[in-house]
Amino acid sequence: MTHTITLLTFDEVIEVEADETILEIAVEENIPYPFGCRSGNCGACKSRLLLGEAHMREHSSMALTADEAARGLVLACRAEPRSDCTLAVVNYDDALVHPLKQLVGEVTAVEKLTHDIAAVQVTLPEPMDYTAGQFAAVAFPGFPARDYSFASPPDNPTRLEFHIRRMGDDGVSAFVFDQLAAGEPVAVHGPMGYAFLREAETGPIFAIAGGSGLAPIRAILQSALAKPDAPDRPVRLWFGARTEADVYLEDELKALAAQHPNFSYEIVLSEPDAGSARRAGFVTDAFKADIETLGADPLDGARAYLAGPPPMVEAGVEIFKAAGLDQARIHADAFYTEAEKAALTGV
């Protein structure tokens, strides 16, 4: 059965079948609906269902909480209409629309950053405009596309960098780590994602990164610190890794801190080596302890950015909320594996 869907945000009306999602038809109709993962994991397409009924496919409770669902919020990428509906995108004034592009570029360098993280440099034939914190679907010959965050600021949108963590002995990440070389073609579809730097903001930035989640956070930090108002805003990073061998880009972080007195960072190891002088524990616990020492209202006017393993991101989001930061000012990118996405979505 076909249902009429009114999208108030765009002053558009679309027709959606009961087994289709509202987002997929909106995208087909070239409506600039904000979206990221398209699998119910990121929350970029969160909308308010003003009229009608919709069935929600499986999704992450971090992308849409039970409380939000009870208040009439839905994820357009998971919402199948059960009647005619009227929707409005949540926080659309905060949305960012870069034109989606599908480009084929060339790998120009592959550098091992740790024992299981590689930096892949890509040159495109034309610019792909994006904002720090976003990601793209990247496909190497013979492999399905995978989502990887832009690891560099968007200063030169024809030269991209992605940090790819090896997830096993086969598949895309193993190919990248063991065989990928300069000169290989690579397809890049993007940009996507909602956990991007809010460039108009001038308040404090608090960032938490875990593992290769440092990639988008790195781009956010570099972009924020390059702004003319950078000296006037505190910018703080908590970076969590498992062992010393998993720490990377520390020299770069040191250089940023030396260049920008308003920037500081903490590296936290969950499994420190014997005799390590590093801070030990979970990075989110370290952040929670630190935030309690920063005086009254340390998060006033702040934006929070988180990227990395889902448990870390989920814990960090809850800590920010408990500390009084409005959820609309918390921007999280949980790095779900393909298996985790399938388990969440039933696909």
**Cβ proximity of 120 and 162 under 8 Å:** yes
Helix or strand run (H / E) with residue 216? helix 214-225
Residues in the chain: 347
Q: What percent of the chain has pLDDT over 90?
A: 73
Statement: residue 200 has pLDDT above 90: no
263: amino acid identity, one letter: F
The pairing of strands 73-75 and 46-51 is antiparallel
Q: What is the pTM of this model?
A: 0.85
pLDDT digits (tens, 9 = 90+) for 85-126: 999 998 776 666 688 899 999 999 999 999 999 999 999 999
Joined together, the tokens standing for residue 52 give 């009608």
Mean of pLDDT values over 246-273:
96
Mean of pLDDT values over 16-28:
94
HSE at residue 14, side-chain half, CA atoms within 13 A, is: 22
HSE at residue 30, side-chain half, CA atoms within 13 A, is: 2
Domains of the chain from N-terminus onward: 2-94 (3.10.20.30), 101-192 (2.40.30.10), 205-341 (3.40.50.80)
Joined together, the tokens standing for residue 194 give 């909602």
pLDDT digits (tens, 9 = 90+) for 154-194: 999 999 999 999 998 879 999 999 999 999 999 999 998 88
**DSSP annotation of 39:** S
* Residue the block writes with tokens 């890509």: 122
Mean pLDDT lowest for which of 45-54, 296-305, 336-345? 336-345
